[in-house]
Structure 1
Amino acid sequence: MSNDSPEVAAIEAAARDYIEGWYAGDVARMDRALHTDLVKRILVDEEFRPVTKDRMIEMTASGGGEMPDPEFEIDVYAVSDGIASARTVSPEYIDHLHLVETPDGWRIANVLFITRD
C-alpha cells in the first residue's frame, strides 16, 4: 500500500505509538494508540487469552518491553471507509491490527498476536 497518503501515515503513527510506546514504557503513547474497547488476544493451547486496554496500560507502566530502540516493521494492508488492517513485527511479537478512525484519530480496536521464537 502506498505510504504517500496522509491516512496511511496516520495509521502508521497509531501503530508506531503502540510499538514504541510498549518498548519505551510510554503510557501516553500506548493510551493514544488503543481504542477504549480494545480486544487483544493470543491463542495458547487452543484457548484465547485476552488482554484489555487497561491491562496493556498497566503492563506498559510497569516497563513494557524494556528494550531500548528496538527494530520493528509496520505494514498497512488495507484502508476502507474508516477501518484499516495492519501488521507490526517487533523483536518479540507479530501483531495483526484492526484500526478504526475516531474523532480523535486512528485507534487500534483489535489485535491478534503471536510471540516470535
Structure 2
Amino acid sequence: MKRYLLLFSVFLAVQSLYAQASQHPDVEQACMDYIDGFYQGDTAKIIRSLSPDLLKFGYWKNKETGVYESDGQMTFTEALDYSRNVLVKQRFVAKEAPRKVEVLDVGNHIASAKVTAWWGIDYLLLAKVDDRWVIQQVLWEGPLK
C-alpha cells in the first residue's frame, strides 16, 4: 500500500511540474505582448496582455538628485492611451532597445515574471483568466542606468 501511495504521489508531482512547464510559453507571450504593446503602439497587444483591473506602480530616478521617486500609478485605460499615443505620434522604440522576459514562477492560476525594457525593470504578477494569462500588477523602476 505504501508503494502505491508513493507512486501516486510521484505521479501527481510530475503532472504538476509538466502543467507548469507547459504554461511557461503562454506566460512569456503575455509579457512580450506587454512590451510590444508599449514599444509598437499596438493596442490589441495591450488589451490582450493586461487585466482591466491593472495596477501599475513605479519609481523613476530623478536626474538631478539621483533619488528614486514615486512615479504614481498607471491604470489599464492609461496604458491603452499611452500605447495609442505611441502609434499616433509614431514614437516607436528602436529595434535594439532591451526586450527581455524572465518567467520566474508559474502556478496553476498565478505566475510571476521579470521584464527588462527601455524604461527599466518591471516585476509582473499574472493570473490565468478564461484560459489566458493576463498581467494584474506591475511594480517597476527606471531607468536602467
Using structure 1 for the length normalisation, give the TM-score. 0.87
Confirm or deny that 1:59 pairs with 2:82.
yes
Gap change, CA 1:13 and 1:55, over 3 Å in 2: same
Give the conservation status (yes or no) of the 8 Å contact 1:24–1:63: yes
Alignment of 1:24-63 (within 5 A): 24-43=40-59, 47=70, 49-63=72-86
Q: Which 4+ residue blocks in structure 1 deviate beyond 2 angstroms? A: 43-48, 68-71
Correspondences of 1:69-84 after superposition (within 5 Å): 69=95, 70-84=97-111
Among 125, 137, 143, the alignment partner of 1:98 is 125
Q: In percent, how many aligned pairs have the same letter? A: 28
Distance 1:47 1:19, change over 3 A: closer
Report if the CA contact (8 A) 1:31-1:57 is conserved.
Answer: yes
Say whether the 8 Å CA contact 1:24–1:68 is kept in structure 2: no
State the Cα distance separating 1:80 from its structure 2 match. Answer: 1.6
The TM-score normalised by the length of structure 2 is 0.71
Q: Which runs of 5+ in 1 are unaligned?
A: none
Quote the RMSD (CA, aligned, Å).
Answer: 2.2
User: Which residue in 2 is equivalent to 1:87?
Assistant: 114
Structure 2 distance, partners of 1:21, 1:58, is 11
Q: Distance in 2 between matches of 1:47 and 1:113?
A: 10
Which one has a larger percent helix, Structure 1 or Structure 2?
2
Letter in 1 for 2:21: S
Closer, same or farther: CA 49–103 of 1 in aligned 2, 3 Å? same
**In structure 1, what is the Cα distance between the partners aligned to 2:131 and 2:104?**
22
1:54-101 deviations in Å (ceiling 9; x for gaps): 000000000076214233110011112200010000122211000000
Deviation at 1:104, TM superposition (A): 4.7
Q: For the pair shown, which has the larger CA radius of gyration, 1 or 2?
A: 2
**Number of residue equivalences:** 115
**Greater strand proportion:** 1
The structure-2 alpha-carbon separation of the partners of 1:81 and 1:6, relative to structure 1 and needing over 3 Å to count, comes to closer
Question: Structure 1 stretch 25-34 or stretch 56-65: which is displaced more?
Answer: 56-65
Segments of 5+ residues of structure 2 without an aligned counterpart are 1-19, 61-67
Secondary structure of the equivalent of 1:67?
A: coil
